[in-house]
Amino acid sequence: MTYRALYREWRPQTFADLVGQEHVRRILTNALAAGRVSHAYLFSGPRGTGKTSTAKILAKALNCVHGPTPEPCNQCPACTRITAGEFLDVLEIDGASNRGIDEIRELREKVQLAPAEGRYKVYIIDEVHMLTTEAFNALLRTLEEPPAHVIFIFATTEAHKIPLTILSRCQRLDFHRVALPAIVERLQEVADREGVAVEERTLFLLAKKAEGSLRDALSMLDQCISLGSDKIDHDQVLALLGAAAGEELQAMVDCLVQGDVTALLQTINGLLDYGRDPRQLIRDLIGYFRNLLLFKVGAGQDELVEATQEEKQVFSRQAASFSPEQLMAGIELLAATEGEIRWDAQPRVSLEVMAIKLLLELARPEKREQQALQTQEPPLEVIPARPGQEARKAERTPPKKEAGPAKRPPAAGEGDRGAKREPAIKKAAPAREELTLAAIEKRWPEVLEELKERVDIPGLALIQGGKPAELRENCLILAFTHQIHKEKVVERYKEQIEAAMKAIFGRELDLRCVLAQEKKRGEVRDKDLVQEAIEFFGPGLVEERKENPEL
Q: What is the pLDDT of residues 450-463, one digit of tens each?
A: 888 888 877 887 88
Q: What is the pLDDT of residue 145?
A: 85
Domains, the chain, with CATH or none: 6-174 (3.40.50.300), 180-241 (1.10.8.60), 246-362 (1.20.272.10), 365-374+435-551 (3.30.300.180)
- Per-chain mean pLDDT for the chain: 79
- Measured CA to CA in angstroms, residue 90 lies from 107, 224, 534 at distances of 13, 34, 95
Cα–Cα distance for residue pair 445/256, rounded to 1 Å: 27
The two beta strands, 40-44 and 171-174, are parallel
| DSSP 3-state of 85 | coil
* 166 pLDDT more than 70: yes
Using 50, 70 and 90 to split pLDDT, how confident is the model at 44? very high
Using 50, 70 and 90 to split pLDDT, how confident is the model at 531? low
Cα–Cα distance for residue pair 194/218, rounded to 1 Å: 12
Tell me which H or E stretch contains 331: helix 324-341
Span 203-232, mean pLDDT? 86
CA nearest neighbour of 372 among 364, 384, 383: 364
In 97-244, beta strands by DSSP E: 121-126, 150-156, 171-174
Tell me the per-residue pLDDT of 484-523, one tens digit each, with 9 for 90 and over. 778 888 888 888 898 888 888 888 888 988 887 765 555 5
Least confident stretch, 108-122, 208-222, 537-551: 537-551
Q: What is the pLDDT of residue 544?
A: 61
* 550 pLDDT more than 60: no
CA nearest neighbour of 60 among 40, 42, 87: 87
- Measured CA to CA in angstroms, residue 282 lies from 171, 296, 336, 353 at distances of 40, 21, 10, 13
Top mean-pLDDT range of 243-247, 402-406, 471-475: 471-475
Least confident stretch, 69-78, 154-163, 164-173, 242-251: 242-251
Top mean-pLDDT range of 69-73, 382-386, 392-396, 479-483: 69-73
- The values of phi and psi at residue 183, to 5°, are -65, -45
Tell me the per-residue pLDDT of 276-300, one tens digit each, with 9 for 90 and over. 788 888 888 898 898 888 888 877 6
Q: What is the pLDDT of residue 430?
A: 42
* 139 pLDDT more than 80: yes
Q: What is the pLDDT of residue 302?
A: 66
* 10 pLDDT more than 70: yes
* 339 pLDDT more than 60: yes
Q: What is the pLDDT of residue 535?
A: 58
Top mean-pLDDT range of 222-231, 381-390, 426-435: 222-231
Q: What is the pLDDT of residue 121?
A: 92
Kindly provide the b/e burial profile for residues 239-263, where b requires at least 16 CB atoms within 10 angstroms of the residue's own CB. ebbbbbbbebbbbbbbbbbebbbee
Least confident stretch, 48-52, 386-390, 426-430, 452-456: 426-430
Least confident stretch, 82-91, 294-303, 395-404, 447-456: 395-404
Span 434-452, mean pLDDT? 86
Span 202-227, mean pLDDT? 88
Tell me the per-residue pLDDT of 361-380, one tens digit each, with 9 for 90 and over. 776 544 444 444 444 444 43
* 41 pLDDT more than 90: yes
Cα-to-chain-centroid distance, residue 37: 45
Span 9-34, mean pLDDT? 92
Cα–Cα distance for residue pair 411/533, rounded to 1 Å: 64
Using 50, 70 and 90 to split pLDDT, how confident is the model at 414? very low
Using 50, 70 and 90 to split pLDDT, how confident is the model at 415? very low
Residues 6+ apart with CB under 8 A from 265: 352, 355
Q: What is the pLDDT of residue 431?
A: 44
pTM value? 0.59
* 148 pLDDT more than 70: yes
The torsion defined by the Cα of 20, 24, 27 and 30, in degrees rounded to 10, comes to -60
| DSSP 3-state of 7 | helix
Q: What is the pLDDT of residue 533?
A: 61
Contact in structure between 458 and 259 (CB atoms under 8 Å): yes
The two most distant CA atoms of the chain are separated, in Å, by 132
Q: What is the pLDDT of residue 338?
A: 84
Tell me the per-residue pLDDT of 467-486, one tens digit each, with 9 for 90 and over. 898 888 788 888 888 787 78
